[in-house]
Amino acid sequence: MDKNVKIIEITDDKFPKSLKEAVKNLITSAEIKRLYYKGNWCPEIFENCLAVVGSRHLTSYGKKATEQIVTEVALAGVTIVSGFMYGGDEAAHSATVKCGGKTIAVMPCGINRIHPESQKDLYEEILKKDGLIISEYEGLAQPQQWTYVQRNRIVAGLCKAILVTEATENSGTLITAGYAKKFGKKIFALPGQITSGLSKGPNRLIKEGAEIVTEAKDILDFYKISRSKANLPAGKKLVLGSSLEQKIIEQLQREPMKADELSRLFLLPSSQIGTTLTLMQLKGFINLDNGKYHIN
């Protein structure tokens, strides 16, 4: 076996209590006996976990909302857990590593297989930033339709809550939400346009009692974490210094502006501008008032 791969049995004291409790009443075929993992396995990474799941085909709205919410939640010290697929999972993992937060990727394949292969850089970045790669399967086992479902119970079981961003009514994302409901986890959902097929899933969850999320504070309140106390892991403090942050400060010194106005001005994706503005807010350099950003 790869020397970087470790094994932890469910009987081990270091096995996440949240997951152990969640799966103990599942049918025999869904039992978990052990996990294979790569990365930094430490008790702290499992203390406050949020599952973030969404469609493999996120809209620009879903991607931007995921990045903005996840960035602030991760900066507050909450570990982001997802299933590493492209789309919603990828957006959640990527936003976390970009801001220096911790993330756990639960794979539907063997621990030594990167799936999808196109996300090799993200896989390596998760490990580089002291995150975790987890799987029930050893070696290079190929993913199967049923292993995606099995993976979803781990994603839900590790966390205190789950955030569903975008999903069709028949999406596998809702299987994860179903596990969360069965495990007694808090369910958050991102509201969307009633005309969008990818909003039917979260909108249905809201009808069924899921809490609407319009900003990171909705989630941080559940974790009893103050927005003002959001911080990066030790040794990873941010300072004003990137050229984009400098340009935004210079522009806001002239006049308050909306995020989309800054995006058009600098000819940059709205997701990039949104993430940068969130980081600058958390550092205390800017504030949002009536839809416009201004310098504190």
Looking up tokens 């999320």 gives: 213
The stretch 102-117 carries a mean pLDDT of: 97
132 in Cβ contact with 154 (< 8 Å): no
Q: What is the CA radius of gyration of the chain?
A: 19
Q: Give the amino acid at 68.
A: Q
* 238 pLDDT more than 50: no
The stretch 115-128 carries a mean pLDDT of: 96
What local confidence, expressed as pLDDT, does residue 68 receive?
87
CA-nearest of 177, 254, 182 to 27 is 182
The stretch 248-271 carries a mean pLDDT of: 90
Instruction: Give the pair of three-digit tokens for residue 279.
Output: 């980081």
CATH architecture of structural domain 6-229: 3-Layer(aba) Sandwich (3.40)
CA-nearest of 296, 204, 182, 293 to 248 is 293
* 283 pLDDT more than 90: no
Give the model's confidence band at 239: pLDDT under 50 very low, under 70 low, under 90 confident, else very high: very low
Q: Give the amino acid at 4.
A: N
* 284 pLDDT more than 70: yes
295 in Cβ contact with 280 (< 8 Å): no
* Fold agreement between 6-229 and 243-295: no
Task: Give the distance from CA 224 to its chain's centroid.
Answer: 18
Give the model's confidence band at 230: pLDDT under 50 very low, under 70 low, under 90 confident, else very high: low
Looking up tokens 């974490």 gives: 225
Q: For residue range 59-84, what is the model confidence (pLDDT) as tens digits?
A: 988 998 999 899 999 999 999 999 99
β-bridge pairing 286-289 and 292-295: antiparallel
Please tell me the class of the 243-295 domain. mainly alpha
Give the model's confidence band at 232: pLDDT under 50 very low, under 70 low, under 90 confident, else very high: very low
What local confidence, expressed as pLDDT, does residue 29 receive?
67
What local confidence, expressed as pLDDT, does residue 111 receive?
97
The stretch 113-142 carries a mean pLDDT of: 96
User: How far apart, in whole angstroms, are the C-alpha atoms of residue 41 and residue 171?
Assistant: 31
CA-nearest of 120, 119, 154, 145 to 37 is 154
List Cβ neighbours of 151 (8 Å cut-off, separation of 6 or more). 83, 106, 107, 108, 136
Strand, coil or helix: 291: coil
What local confidence, expressed as pLDDT, does residue 234 receive?
38
The stretch 122-137 carries a mean pLDDT of: 96
User: How far apart, in whole angstroms, are the C-alpha atoms of residue 240 and residue 245?
Assistant: 7
Looking up tokens 């801001």 gives: 99
Helix axes 243-254, 270-283, angle to 10 degrees: 80
What local confidence, expressed as pLDDT, does residue 43 receive?
92
CA-nearest of 242, 248, 231 to 287 is 248
User: How far apart, in whole angstroms, are the C-alpha atoms of residue 8 and residue 155?
Assistant: 17
What local confidence, expressed as pLDDT, does residue 91 receive?
96
Q: Where are the domains of the chain?
A: 6-229, 243-295
* 231 pLDDT more than 70: no
User: What percent of the chain lies above the pLDDT cut of 90?
Assistant: 70
